[in-house]
Structure 1
Amino acid sequence: PPPPDVPPPPPPPDQKFTPPPVVVPPPIVRAPVPSPVIIQSVPTPPKAIQYVPVAAPPAPAAPPAPPTVSKAAGAKGDPSQWITNDDYPPDALRANEAGVSVIAWTINTAGKVEGCHTTQSSGSSSLDNAACRALSRRGRYSPATDSGGNPIAVTQSRRVVWKIPTDR
């Protein structure tokens, strides 16, 4: 262990020790503290928006009523022969696809079929497309006419039943 600390030697006797002067601290001055200023922000209400009514634009003129069909479009030939088993798509036969296609088309003012589309699918796009192709190729009509005898376009629809032919 280290040796104990030795106390310092006493001051020499020929020196006279004078203590430091006593200092009195200055008195405590209490300054009045002003109460804090509280600033409250009051929201300024937004300026009132003044709505000025604007006159609505005039309604567009109603479209003219569709012409009244005075005489319906007449099929030229037998419509039941326009789509036959000969129109059965080979890929649908190989896949054993069958069903009912519902198609719709427009008969134009010249009596020709246009815009054929499927309104209810047979479940086979091949059969649905074959129905429209055959009808568009073979369907011919005398155009429908209005009360003035003018040809007008009309729309027709049909169900096509696709059954796999037994004689294949």
Structure 2
Amino acid sequence: MVSAISILLLAAELTGAAADSEYNKDNPDPIIAEIEKVGSESKTVVDLSIDAAGHVARCMVIESSGSEYLDQAACKTFSEKAKFAPKLDPVTQKPVGYLYRSRIIWRLEE
């Protein structure tokens, strides 16, 4: 029986918590059904365009988990909850936008 879901967001530069949800058997999560459908240990790889303020301006799926729902959930989570450390232009020392690639591993824990 599944007791928890771990959404591992492997993004070392995140400065905020991007995701982690507990499974409640009385309130099933559609993410669990999707992970069961595509198989444990599936992954989504995304390219994130980070703006000068450290927010996700754009998310593009580079490698699909096999589930459009999981891929969209990854982008939605990053777009709504992630905050990245700003990068500084080496010449002007002003914050600039940049591209960041991240891998999300979808895994059910028992």
Q: TM-score, normalised by structure 2?
A: 0.68
**Which residues in structure 2 correspond to 1:1-168 (within 5 Å)?**
75-77=14-16, 81-86=17-22, 90-95=29-34, 96-97=36-37, 98=39, 99-147=42-90, 148-166=92-110
More strand by share: 2
Between the aligned partners of 1:90 and 1:156, the Cα distance in structure 2 is: 28
Percent identity (aligned): 26
Higher helix share: 2
TM-score in terms of structure 1 length: 0.47
Deviation, 1:76, is: 2.1
Q: Deviations over 1:68-105 (max 9, x none)?
A: xxxxxx5323xxx4132459x93342352341100111
Residues in 2 aligned to 1:75 and 1:106: alpha-carbon distance in whole angstroms: 13
Structure 1 residue 149: Cα displacement = 0.4
Matched residues in 2 for 1:82 and 1:159: separation?
13
Q: Give the letter aligned to residue 102 of structure 1.
A: V
Q: How many residue pairs were aligned?
A: 89
Structure 1 residues 75 and 94 mapped into 2: Cα distance closer, same or farther (>3 Å)?
closer
CA RMSD of aligned residues (A): 2.3
SS in 2 for 1:94: helix
Whether the 8 Å contact between 1:101 and 1:120 is mirrored in structure 2 is yes
Could you list the structure 1 runs, at least 4 aligned residues long, displaced by more than 4 angstroms after superposition. Answer: none
Which has more radius of gyration? 1
Which structure exhibits the higher relative contact order, with contacts defined as CA atoms closer than 8 Å and separated by 6 or more residues? 2
One-letter amino acid matched to 1:119: I
